[in-house]
Amino acid sequence: MEGQIIWAHEFKTGHFIYVIRLENDISVKTYVVKGFKNWAAWKNFKAGDGIGGLDWFDKEKKIISADSPIYPLE
């Protein structure tokens, strides 16, 4: 799946939340922890960036897997 990051926030604990609007206009979120293995893939993304390779973690709760094989969209 592809989408655009519409909001990214870092909490004092080193946890990040990314809110992403998918191509079908549904907003989803993912949670990333600084220092975990998936942090390297997410650390350069910011609000406004296009992102591809998104996979569901929990479709009913609209949560994207932070371990998705993500890549930037041009």
pLDDT in tens, 4-44: 999 999 999 989 999 999 999 999 999 999 999 999 999 99
Domains of the chain by residue range = 2-72
Q: Could you confirm whether domain 2-72 is CATH 3.40.190?
A: no
pTM: 0.92
Long-range contacts of 4-7 (CB under 8 A, 24+ apart): 4/48, 4/49, 4/50, 4/51, 5/45, 5/46, 5/47, 5/48, 5/49, 5/50, 5/51, 6/47, 6/48, 7/47
State residue 74's pLDDT score: 82
